[in-house]
Structure 1
Amino acid sequence: MSHDYLYETPLLDYRTPAIQGLIARRGWTDLSYEDRIGAAYDFVRNDILFGYNADDALPASCVLADGYGQCNTKATLLMALLRALEIPCRFHGFTIDKGLQRGVVPELIYPLAPRNIIHSWVEVQHAGAWLDLEGFILDEGVLTALQTAFPERDTLCAYGAGTDDLQKPDVAWIGQSTYIQKTGINRDFGVFDSPDTFYAEHRQLTGLRGLIYRRVIRHWMNRRVGQMREGVIPVIPGGAASLVPASSHPDATEAA
């Protein structure tokens, strides 16, 4: 195992009492290598609900305390748990087209949202290969609500999902890569040792726009996600025809 992919950082603060206590209570250190990955992954997927934190660059212990997160904050927590369990992992940064957030971002402010939104997933070392872990973003409640609302759809790029197989997405840990927002990706920043090194180069929630997001917009979005979890899916203007993968947009490769 590579030491470079096991070290603690300010964001991957896995030696904090909250994270060490969680691992001890769950007995995860007694599991096999593969099952340790699965335990951390399943916890982040469903015990940490899909929602929007105050910032992307939050320490893992803060994400755990919030009890909810989106792609970037959940990725930080998952990496911290994996490294605490001696599972080498690294960070892969991207942007996604904002269409993937349609329905979660209120329509009133959707036109003001940046076209390209910072996104990430975790790469984990397993069986001699690096596997992609992204399927942890949507908790089971949100995913089931979307499947129920769109029973005839396979392709969906909205409401926080970006998949070509909505009814049977690769989200369960079975020793293989998992995905739930992959089809929304429109730029690849490459692999980083940690989220700290990525956010040192790429930040989005800054300035006045970031302040408004933290104080107002994210709370609005979280209420909408809560409604989705209860089966109330916001209507998107244009209907089903607008719920297409970002990769099919003419300017999908526009830089962030």
Structure 2
Amino acid sequence: MNNNLEQTQLLDYNHSTIQSLIRSRNWASLPVKEQILHVYNYVRDEIKFGYNRSDNIQASEVLHDGYGQCNTKGILFMALLRALGIPCRIHGFTIHKQLQKGAMKGWYYHLSPKEIIHSWIEVLYNDRWLNIEGFILDLRYLTKLQQKFKQCTGSFCGYGVATDDFQNPAIFWNESDTYVQKEGIVQDFGTFEHPDEFFSLHPQKLSPIRRIVFSNVVRHLMNRNVRRIRQG
């Protein structure tokens, strides 16, 4: 179980900004249930949904950015939990790119790979592993999206969502699994103790040139689209 608590290059939880955050929120003094809940709500809502320069960036960089997607929010979530002594691991997948349609559109949607690397975090709580994915979209963004498509009361796929209950997805943690993109999963790569290993074995399928274009152009267009939804 020590392997599920280790600091790694990506999970740099001894970084001063991460330790400062934990102290300022007084999380270390809380019972385990409250620690998970507070960290979960923080990553979901105070780290806004958005696209970082890459998947495999350090937790401290995600915190500095103040936004993230499934993979980068997951790295920060893991780092915060491990800093509090809560075992966790990463579960890797691919999702169909249709899930990103709306946030990703036009020429850059058509040029993106058919399947996109995805992950959720598994947390050991009360002797069982919980699947935690529902922190990806901040509540303000999701609420505006629900208002925009208020006629949809069942399944929805797009804009960063893939759920069979669009108006009431399982995003509130209550000692249970949470999901918001699960219905878009294509391939299952299994669990990994560290995100460093997962992203090393399963990088996004982008050529070097497309990787540069994504980091310098595409993600900024996607973040602009996300902001427009969030602002209503």
> Residue type of the partner of 1:197?
E
2:231 aligned with 1:230? yes
> Residue type of the partner of 2:222?
M
RMSD after superposition: 0.8
Q: Percent identity?
A: 50
Deviations 1:161-192 (A, max 9, x none): 00011111110111100000000000000000
Number of the residue aligned with 2:28: 29
Tell me if structure 2 keeps the 8 A contact 1:106–1:220: no
Number of the residue aligned with 2:174: 174
> Residue type of the partner of 1:160?
G
Number of the residue aligned with 2:151: 152
CA distance in 1, matches of 2:35, 2:28: 7
> Residue type of the partner of 2:26?
G
User: How far does residue 152 in structure 1 lie from its aligned partner after superposition?
Assistant: 2.7
Number of the residue aligned with 1:19: 18
TM-score, scaled relative to structure 1: 0.88
User: How far does residue 206 in structure 1 lie from its aligned partner after superposition?
Assistant: 5.0
CA distance in 1, matches of 2:149, 2:175: 28
CA distance in 2, matches of 1:222, 1:109: 13
CA distance in 1, matches of 2:208, 2:112: 14
Superposed counterparts of 1:78-97, under 5 Å:
78-97=77-96
2:138 aligned with 1:139? yes
Deviations 1:180-218 (A, max 9, x none): 000000000000001001012111255000000001000
User: How far does residue 141 in structure 1 lie from its aligned partner after superposition?
Assistant: 1.1
> Structure 2 regions of 5+ residues with no counterpart?
none
Deviations 1:212-243 (A, max 9, x none): 00010000000000001012xxxxxxxxxxxx
Number of the residue aligned with 1:238: none
Superposed counterparts of 1:5-154, under 5 Å:
5-153=4-152, 154=154
Q: Secondary structure at the match of 1:109?
A: helix
CA distance in 1, matches of 2:32, 2:104: 38
CA distance in 1, matches of 2:230, 2:43: 17
Aligned length: 230
User: How far does residue 109 in structure 1 lie from its aligned partner after superposition?
Assistant: 2.2
Q: Secondary structure at the match of 1:94?
A: strand
CA distance in 1, matches of 2:57, 2:207: 14
Number of the residue aligned with 1:202: 202
TM-score, scaled relative to structure 2: 0.97
Change (3 A) 1:82 1:52: same
Tell me if structure 2 keeps the 8 A contact 1:91–1:195: yes
